[in-house]
Amino acid sequence: MITSTSESLASELSAPALPEFPPNQWYVAALGWELQDKPLGRTLLNNPVVLFRKSDGMVAALEDRCCHRALPLSNGTLEASGIRCGYHGLLFDDAGKCVEIPGQDKIPSKARVAAYHVREQDQIVWIWFGSAAQPEPDCEPPHYAVHSSGQYLFDGSVYHYEAPYQLIHDNLMDLSHLGYVHLRTIGGNASIHMNARMSVESEGNVVRVVRHMRDSVPPPTYTAAYPFKGTVDRWQEIEFHVSHLRIWTGAVDAGSDSLDDPERGGFHMRGFHGVTPETATTSHYFWTIATNPASDPQAIKDKVVEQTILTFDEDKQVIEAQYRNLCRFGARPMIDIHVDVGANRARRIIEQLRQA
Ligand code: FES
Ligand SMILES: [Fe+2]
């Protein structure tokens, strides 16, 4: 008996630990415009990283620790050939190699720091940490055409969350909360939200949730941004990917257009939501919102962005309060209701990727 207990304990101890986050993915590291003339220090999936833009405009990502005396390189300065540590001036290139030690000719071969795969695409900066089994990326980072098609005006920001990243997924996968949390902006009638016609589909590691709310009163953001005549037919199309979500919402005058027509008119809000774990209990939320103003493009875009900030501030308050309470009450069972189907599917995908 004693033997079997020790054996099982031994096998548990020797079992390889599950990765905390799904490995081998492109995760969002920054929005392109965050990287200008200064280095940016950010912890991503427990890795302290310094991100910077090189003189040729390309982005680079290094471990945020000088190999001399461990000052964060993000305290340093940018130069044409790399990043210079702000303590004793070692200069590192974008591959992490030390290329200059002030006052010393010989540069030891060990004078280097880790470099990460990083790419900028459609004004989103993606990073790949990989895994021991797959250190090199096996695909290109995702495209996000909404930023580059010229069809939309957009802006965005980065929020830091004192909450695990999957609580942000849950929130975005279930937009029924709009009728309770976002009454000042994109909410509307709670009962319409809770009774929306919903379909949930998955394909590989992607989950799609589509919700239609016909003949409903347009919420404040919609009426501020678009000249609706009366009630509207609203849609919410949510596409979950392991590292980000794409959410297309909007409305047409009730009965005026098909909600299944991808070219439909009306008012559109297209959201990009990069959800990157910082640690197991904190997260980075990179978001942009794009819209198609019917008139006065700059002012309407600014209005939609301002309303989106109010909306996402409300989400942050709810999610961080939820997490504080989860910590306060510990692991207690929770019940599921009909709106949880998409979020639960996303959680299963994350779990499968961690186990794989
Ligand atoms: S700590 Fe970076 S140069 Fe000394
Ligand atoms: Fe929300």
26-128 is a CATH 2.102.10.10 domain:
yes
pTM score over 0.75: yes
| pLDDT value at residue 4 | 39
**Which of 50, 64, 65, 66 for a ligand 1 pocket mutation test, highest count of atoms within 8 Å of Cβ?**
66
What residue spans in the chain does CATH classification 2.102.10.10 cover? 26-128
Which tens digit of pLDDT belongs to each residue from 44-92?
999 999 999 999 999 999 999 999 999 999 999 999 999 999 999 999 9
Task: Please give the distance of CA 69 from its chain centroid, rounded to a whole number.
Answer: 33
The architecture of the domain spanning 151-355 is Alpha-Beta Complex (3.90)
Q: Indicate if ligand 1 lies below 6 Å from the C-beta of 71.
A: yes
Buried b vs exposed e over 142-156: b needs ≥16 C-beta within 10 Å? bebebbeeeebbbbb
Q: Indicate if ligand 1 lies below 6 Å from the C-beta of 66.
A: yes
Of the pLDDT bands very low, low, confident and very high (cuts 50, 70, 90), residue 310 is very high
Q: Kindly state the helix (H) or strand (E) to which residue 98 belongs, with its residue range.
A: strand 98-100
Q: State what percent of residues in the chain have pLDDT above 70.
A: 95
| pLDDT value at residue 356 | 85
How far apart CA 299 and CA 225 sit, in angstroms, is 9
Instruction: State the closest ligand 1 atom to the C-alpha of 73, by its place in the atom list counted from 1.
Output: 2
Which tens digit of pLDDT belongs to each residue from 251-289?
999 999 999 999 999 999 999 999 999 999 999 999 999
What residue spans in the chain does CATH classification 3.90.380.10 cover? 151-355
**Ligand 1: which residue has its CA nearest to atom 1?**
69
